[in-house]
Structure 1
Amino acid sequence: MATLRLTRVTPYTALLPMALVAALGYLGAGLWTFYISLTGSRTFPSGHFIGLAQYHRLFDNERWMLSLHNLAVYGVLFVLACLVIGFLLAVVIDQNAMWKMRGEGVFRTIFLYPYAMSFVATGLVWQWLLTPGDGIDGIDGSLRALGFHDLRFDWIVSQDFAIHTVVIATVWQMSGLVMALMLAGLRGVDPEIWKAARLDGIPAWRVYAQIILPMLWPTIATVLLLLATAVAKLYDAVVAMTQGGPGIASEVPAKFIMDHLFLRSNVGLASAG
């Protein structure tokens, strides 16, 4: 009986150090941040309690509200684009394998390669591609010389479209990961489903839309969780591409918090964010 109890307790004992680290590192840090947000801390944390005043200042701040709007726009476009492009790439590779064509490994490597890059590197590359006079706009200039005078691609310096350039860059980087996860899900589909669909003469697009996609819901839920985490953490790509500009047109919450934490010496307001 004692041996049986020891066997049951041992796994929990092994997990205890990690549980303590998680509790102290995440829960403890979260509670400490909330406490600091209730104080008038500036350069250093202080015990001067001011209640919810920092939160009132935060939501009265035009820059913070714009950052939330930008994050919402970015999040919707980024998640939808990654899901659609990643799924279509997975379907292409899956169909390629289904018809016994070569090159699947090459395609997987090409599509997944951008995910190996850091967001800073991705941001710098796309900053060059989208800067007026360079990259894509340089090609546009050649086309304008041929008579296409209205052709412009200057989104990165446009207040209305700057955040969309960040979407383009990060979708390019993350779509490969979505493709890999979706492809793994597609490979778990019973081949007999496809055989039955062919015998019944059902078009491939209907099989994917009405049968395969519902079966992939656990994979889609995992993808959504990863993409939502990437949205909440958006910082590196914005700093590398636009520095939050032009003006504050592409400001996001993470950049707002970091700026107030390290550049504006307002620890209390940064903690409220």
Structure 2
Amino acid sequence: MLDRIRDWVPRIVLAPSFLLVLIFVYGFIFYSGYLSMTNSRMFPSDEWIGFANYIKLFKLRHWNTALVNLGIFSFLYIAISTILGLFLAILLDQKIRGEGFLRPIYLYPMALSFIVTGIAWKWFLDPGIGIEATFHSWGWESFHFNWIKDSKMAIYTVVIAAVWQSSGFVMAMFLAGLRGIDTEIMRAAEMDGAPKSLIYRKIVIPMMRPVFLSSFVVLAHLAIKAYDLVVALTGGGPGRATEMPATFMYSYTFTRNQMGVGASSAIIMMIMIFSIIVPYLYSELKSGDRR
């Protein structure tokens, strides 16, 4: 009897949390999928229209703009954060003096919310009060840096702010990977006369493929659902120059009262995330079985 009670206690304790997740996560996902196939506008509707909202979605110029912006942002954000994070990790891996001081400085931006980051960089990049105004006050009147006001360059300001926030986290991932590599391999290569740059390029970095994959999954997931940083930094502007799928989904659902279209865009975003996470989880499970 006691054994049976012990078996059931963990299940009873976890049951409320499991039920809440089932309802408020997966339940709402299925409900969003249902709304995306109805003629819902300001309020939910039971009028079934199938895939009409998805067809309408991909005919909207604003949605296509959001997808193009997402492509530019995702590519630059993932590439620069990965390269910068790897560089910082290799730098700290040299056992430099002051590592304990530098590591939290690099990691600190990740402790901030994207809203705080967006507002801070908005002030910093604003031509009237930010870096441009500072250089003008120093007498460098010819200096101009008004990307945040330029519709062609505004998306790159979002990249700058996002890289600043996430590169420290990527650095921590790579540093953990570097510290997990057997130092005997590196010593053997050094004894053979191989320079450190060659050791890292030919031995260390190839051994860190799992870290590269994990970093890609985390950054891609953050890029696809980017919302608060964009809203705080540019508000999706100028015009729609920094519109993203997440900001599009919010505006069409709550501002334009097109709940069905907004729900269909949310489902497309979810499919994007699943297309990255599911193969990653499958590869992790498969490699775990091999071990």
| TM-score for the superposition, normalised by structure 2 | 0.83
Instruction: Tell me the residue number matched to 1:35.
Output: 34
Q: 1:112 is aligned with what amino acid?
A: L
Structure 2 residue ranges without an equivalent (≥5): 266-291
- Closer, same or farther in 2 for the Cα pair 1:52/1:156, shift >3 Å? same
Counterpart CA distance in 2 for 1:183 and 1:165 is 27
Q: 1:243 is aligned with what amino acid?
A: G
Q: Does 1:230 align with 2:222?
A: yes
Q: Does 1:83 align with 2:82?
A: yes
1:100-111 superposed matches below 5 A: 101-111=96-106
Q: Write the deviation string for residues 200-237 of structure 1: whole angstroms up to 9, x where unpaired.
A: 11121211111111211112211111111101110011
Instruction: Tell me the residue number matched to 2:167.
Output: 175
Residue among 126, 130, 137 paired with 2:121: 126
Tell me the CA shift for residue 185 of structure 1.
Answer: 0.6
Decide whether the 8 Å contact of 1:38 with 1:52 is kept in 2.
yes
Q: Does 1:62 align with 2:61?
A: yes
Residue among 256, 262, 272 paired with 2:254: 262
Q: Write the deviation string for residues 15-53 of structure 1: whole angstroms up to 9, x where unpaired.
A: 776665554444332221111111111111110112222
Tell me the CA shift for residue 134 of structure 1.
Answer: 2.1
Instruction: Tell me the residue number matched to 1:271.
Output: 263
Deviates more, 1:210-219 or 1:106-115: 210-219
* Equivalent residues, number: 263
Decide whether the 8 Å contact of 1:140 with 1:153 is kept in 2.
no
Q: 2:178 is aligned with what amino acid?
A: L
Deviates more, 1:155-164 or 1:25-34: 25-34
| TM-score for the superposition, normalised by structure 1 | 0.88
Which runs of structure 1 show a deviation greater than 6 angstroms over 4 or more consecutive aligned residues? 5-17
Q: Write the deviation string for residues 112-142 of structure 1: whole angstroms up to 9, x where unpaired.
A: 0111111010001100111112221123424
Between the two proteins, what is the percent identity of the paired residues? 42
Counterpart CA distance in 1 for 2:85 and 2:92 is 11
1:137-148 superposed matches below 5 A: 137-142=132-137, 145-146=139-140
Counterpart CA distance in 1 for 2:102 and 2:137 is 31
Decide whether the 8 Å contact of 1:238 with 1:244 is kept in 2.
yes
- Closer, same or farther in 2 for the Cα pair 1:136/1:42, shift >3 Å? same
Counterpart CA distance in 2 for 1:29 and 1:232 is 19
Counterpart CA distance in 2 for 1:139 and 1:16 is 57
Counterpart CA distance in 1 for 2:259 and 2:251 is 10
Q: Write the deviation string for residues 70-121 of structure 1: whole angstroms up to 9, x where unpaired.
A: 00100000000110000000011001x1xxx421110101100111111010
RMSD value, Cα: 2.3
Counterpart CA distance in 2 for 1:130 and 1:82 is 20
Residue among 110, 113, 117 paired with 1:115: 110
Counterpart CA distance in 2 for 1:251 and 1:56 is 20
Tell me the CA shift for residue 172 of structure 1.
Answer: 0.3
Instruction: Tell me the residue number matched to 2:131.
Output: 136
- Closer, same or farther in 2 for the Cα pair 1:11/1:185, shift >3 Å? farther
